[in-house]
Amino acid sequence: MSTTLAAVVRAPGEPVRVEEVTLPDVGPGQVRVRMAAAGVCHSDLSLASGKLAHPMPAALGHEGAGSVVAVGEGVTGLSVGDTVLLNWNPPCRACWHCGNGEPYLCANATDASRRVWGTLADGTELHPCLGVAAFAQETVVPAGACVAVPADIPPTEAALLGCAVLTGVGAVRNAARVRPGQSVAVIGLGGVGLAAVQGARIAGATTIIAVDPVEEKEELARSLGATHFLTPGDDLARRVRKLADGRGVDHAVECVGRAATIRAAWSCTRRGGTATVVGFGAATDQLTLNALEIPHFARTLQGCMYGSSDPAADVPELLKLYRDGELDLSSLVSRTIGLEDVGGALTDLHSGRGARSLVQF
Ligand code: APR
Ligand code: ZN
């Protein structure tokens, strides 16, 4: 047993506080990681507020990287000292979806978030956010949640791969399958959307329309590959069509998580095009499509989970893009914070300002 500090939420909607947690020793198949960096993602806010259901009380954080400090019995391929990033959706490689080539839909991936991760001084048992609990000085995770990263990759950059980049770049490359010369609209320019903008540039899209209500995001979006920037509004679809040969974009990628922005993504898309939904919204937020427009526009509306990625295969490809200077990770970090600032950084997400806040340990 050992103690660590972690950002904890005791019940949905309660404040996030840094608390001392007793962690058990690594069990069979588990790995202990000393965290170096962890990004603050909108899903952490959604889980803490109760918008997305999650076992509670919970230790937050699911996008991070660090170094291995202990490995449990039976763990192969990982050693003390290795740099790893955390995969919050580790595939079991045994269920129907894993066998069907859809590891991102693994039926057993969420099991790790239901276990007891650690205990507060008053005996309260904590569950790890999405199985990993990255906002902690140290965390214990299943070995499958670790993806080894070469030692020369700074953990501050590797951390962002674990959620924002796998999700955003993956949505464009794996789910939308954007081809050279196509047009793409990205709605919502947080860490996930800004990664999607880069994914579109890397895929060879020639028209990349970035959409966000926060105008100060224009400069960063353009530097990462956007060719146009728009703020949302009732006539967004008309303005997008104007920039996309009057037809609408081949692909729209929704990175907000609201029915209204999913609707906007759908309406921006050309006849026969594809709208890909990446954002996680509330189960109560209803989307309306009429019975005529679906066949008439012949669009595809598809959901995308974790960038339809397999981190074991996708992380090495993303690292190659990073080394080649194609994928910019450091520009996604708008500020560096301490563990004690996580609660404030989550609240700040409401404003939409900044890209990623990154906790450095
Ligand atoms: N149209 C376009 N963009 C919007 C709108 C809107 N109507 N409303 C908000 N946004 C922008 C915000 O200004 C912000 O820039 O969406 C962005 C969301 O960014 P973050 O809060 O940083 O979210 P992020 O971590 O990128 O996650 C995006 O993906 O994984 C999911 O749960 C996550 O649903 C969330 C989404
Ligand atoms: Zn996330």
Residues 202 and 269 in one domain: yes
Q: Find the ligand nearest to 86 CA.
A: 2
C-beta of 48 in contact with ligand 1 (< 6 A): no
Q: Which ligand is nearest the CA of 197, by number? A: 1
In a domain, 160, yes or no: no
CB atoms within 10 A of CB 234: 7
Residue 62 lies in a domain: yes
* Rounded CA separation 138/133 (Å): 9
Tell whether 33 and 122 lie within a shared domain: yes
Domain presence at residue 240:
yes
Instruction: Return d(Cα 350, Cα 254) in angstroms, integer.
Output: 17
198 Cβ below 6 A of ligand 1: no
Centroid of ligand 2 to alpha carbon of 250 (angstroms): 26
Judge whether 319 lies within some domain: no
Asked if residue 43 has its Cβ within 6 Å of ligand 1, the reply is yes
Q: Assess whether the C-beta atom of 192 lies below 6 angstroms from ligand 1.
A: yes
**Do both 6 and 146 map to the same domain?**
yes
Cβ–ligand 1 contact at 168 (below 6 Å): no
Whether the predicted interface score ipTM is above 0.90: yes
Report which ligand 1 atom has the smallest distance to the Cα of 280.
34
One domain, residues 14 and 62: yes
| 203 CA to centre of ligand 1 in angstroms | 22
Residue identified by tokens 């860490």 is 191
Whether 315 maps to a domain, the answer reads no
Number of domains in the chain: 2
Give tens-digit pLDDT for 79-125. Answer: 999 999 999 999 999 999 999 999 999 999 989 999 999 999 999 99
CA of 62 to the centre of ligand 2 (A): 6
Alpha carbon of 355 to ligand 1 centroid (Å): 10
Task: Name the strand (E) or helix (H) holding 47.
Answer: helix 42-49
Report pLDDT for 350: 94
At 226, give phi and psi (nearest 5°): -65, 140
Q: Does 90 contact ligand 1 (Cβ within 6 A)?
A: no
Burial (CB < 10 A; 0-12, 13-18, 19+), residue 277, is: buried
Can you give the CATH number for the domain in which 296 is found? Answer: 3.40.50.720
Residues 57 and 138 grouped into a single domain: yes
Q: 233 with 336, same domain?
A: no
Is 74 inside a domain boundary? Answer: yes
Q: Is any atom of ligand 1 closer than 6 Å to the C-beta of 214?
A: yes
316 in a structural domain: no
Q: Is residue 312 included in any domain, yes or no?
A: no
69 and 121 co-located in one domain: yes
CB atoms within 10 A of CB 305: 19
**Pocket of ligand 1 contains residue 361 by CB under 6 Å:** no
Task: Based on the fold, state whether residues 147 and 244 are members of the same structural domain.
Answer: no
Q: Are residues 9 and 108 in the same domain?
A: yes
Instruction: Specify the DSSP element, H or E, that contains 34.
Output: strand 30-40
Using CA positions, which residue lies closest to atom 10 of ligand 1?
A: 188
Determine if the peptide bond prior to 57 is cis (ω within 30°): yes
Asked if residue 213 has its Cβ within 6 Å of ligand 1, the reply is yes
Same domain, 7 and 91: yes
What residue owns the CA closest to ligand 1's atom 36? 279
Q: What is the pLDDT of residue 289?
A: 96
- Domain termination site, one of 256, 288, 304: 304
Q: 81 C-alpha vs ligand 2 centroid, how far in Å?
A: 25
Check pocket membership of 193 for ligand 1, CB cut-off 6 A: yes
The segments of the chain whose pLDDT lies below 70 read: none
The pLDDT value recorded for residue 300 is 98
Q: Could you tell me the distance, in angstroms and rounded to a whole number, from the CA of residue 190 to the centre of ligand 1?
A: 5
Closest residue by Cα to residue 59 from 121, 144, 1, 139:
139
Residue 208: give the domain boundaries: 168-304
Tell me, yes or no, whether 174 and 300 share the same domain. yes
Residues 35 and 140 in one domain: yes
Give the atom of ligand 1 at the shortest distance from the alpha carbon of 46.
32
Give distance in angstroms: CA of 202 to centre of ligand 1: 21
